[in-house]
Amino acid sequence: MAKYFTKALRCPDGSRKYIRGKTREELERKVRQAQADLGMGVNINDNTTVVEFAQMWVDTYKRPKIRPQSVDAILLTMNLHILPIIGAMKVRDVRPADCARVMMEARGKAKNTQKVIRTRMKELFTCAVENGIIARNPVTSSVAAGGPPAREREPLTRDQLNLLLSQILARRDVELYTFVLLCGYAGLRESEALGLNLKNVDFDKGTVTVLEQYTARKDRTGYTSPLKTVASRRTVPAPPALLARLNEVAQAKGAEAYVFDVTDQYLLRKITPRLERMCAVNAKGNPASRKSPYTVPFYVHPHLLRHTYATLCFEAGLDLKEVQYLLGHSSPNMTMNVYLHYSKNARSVSTAAKVNSLFSGPNLVVAAN
C-alpha cells in the first residue's frame, strides 16, 4: 500500500480538511495552496460539482434576468459542450487544462461557436470565484477559442433583390413576398418581421415601428415578446412597395391584426424553406435540384436580406449612425463589422475609379523617365 503524508487544516467553520501527498514536498505544496485559498475566503471543503453549480448559476443569476430563449441557448451550450467534459468534476478541482480540454473537444466547431463556449465557461467560473468556491478562474488566456471563421456571404445586389421579389410574385406566394419586403426593404430581423402588428404601421407617414418580435418554444404555441434591447425599438421608413403590401394586408385582416399568424409555433420553419426553394444553389454554392422555373441563381436566407438592406443603405450614402439606428444596434461596431459588406465583384470598378480620380489631376507631379 502506498504511503501518504497527511496534514489537517482547520477551516473557518470549524471543520477539518485533511490534505495528503505522496511526498513531503507534495504535501507542503498542497498545504500552502490550501492556506492561500483559505486566506482568500475560499471554502476548501466545498464539494459542489460543476453540473450542480451550473444549475444554480442558471437558475439564480440568468433565468430571472434574461429571456427564456436566451436561457435555452445557455443550457444548450452547457449541455452539449461543457458539462459532458467537466460536469462531474468538483468546481474547486477544475484547472486550466480541463477547460482547454473542453475547447479541444469543440475544435471542429466554427470560431463563433467556440467563443460562445469559452464565454459561458468563464462566466460560470467567475461566479464560482465570487461565491468563494475557488480563488482563481481556470478559464485563463491560454484557454483560447479557435476554429474556422464563419463564412462571410456576399449581400445581394439591388437587382438580385428585385429579381427575388419578382420570382416570388410569379409563384403567387404573397406571404413570402411580404416577409422578404420587411427584411430586405426595411431591415427587420426575421423575428421582428414575423411579429409585426399592423397597428405599428403609420400609413400616413410611411413608417414601421418595431416594438415586438415573434418567438416560439417547444412547450407552447407561437407568440410575441418584447425586444431584447432598447436599441431594437425603432421607427424605420417603409418604401412604397412595402407600404402598399402592408395596406393590402390591413384591408384583408384589419388595422390592428398581426401581419403573420403569430400563434403558429412553426411559422418560421414554414417561411425559411420556401425562401430556400427559390434558390438554384444550396448554402455551399452547389447546384440544387429545383423543378420550379421560378428560381434565382444565388443562395439567400432570411438574415442575408438584412445584410443586404444594411449594405444598400450604406452604398446609398447613409452614414454609420443612421444605419445603426435603422438596424436597431446598440453599438456601431456591430454595424460596421458584421453588416456593412464590401461587394468586391460589384464595386471593384467604381472603387478603382474613385482612387484614380483622387490621385490624378494637373497639379500632381509625374516621375520623369
pLDDT, tens digit, 9 for 90 and up, residues 253-289: 999 999 999 999 888 888 888 998 888 888 777 887 7
pLDDT > 70? residue 21: yes
In which residue are the cell numbers 409563384 written? 171
Q: Which residue has the higher pLDDT, 265 or 342?
A: 265
Task: Report the C-alpha gap between 244 and 203 in whole angstroms.
Answer: 9
Q: What is the mean pLDDT of the chain?
A: 85
31-45, 293-307, 353-367: range with highest mean pLDDT: 293-307
- What is the grid cell recorded at 340? 456593412
What CATH number belongs to 158-344? Answer: 1.10.443.10
Q: Are 164 and 176 in contact (CB under 8 A)?
A: no
Phi, psi of 220 (to 5 degrees): -155, 170
**Long-range contacts of residues 337-342, Cβ cutoff 8 Å, at least 24 apart:** 338/307, 339/306, 339/307, 339/310, 339/311, 340/310, 340/311, 340/314, 341/152, 341/154, 341/155, 341/307, 341/310, 341/311
What CATH number belongs to 50-130? Answer: 1.10.150
Domain ranges of the chain: 5-39, 50-130, 158-344
* Predicted model pTM: 0.69
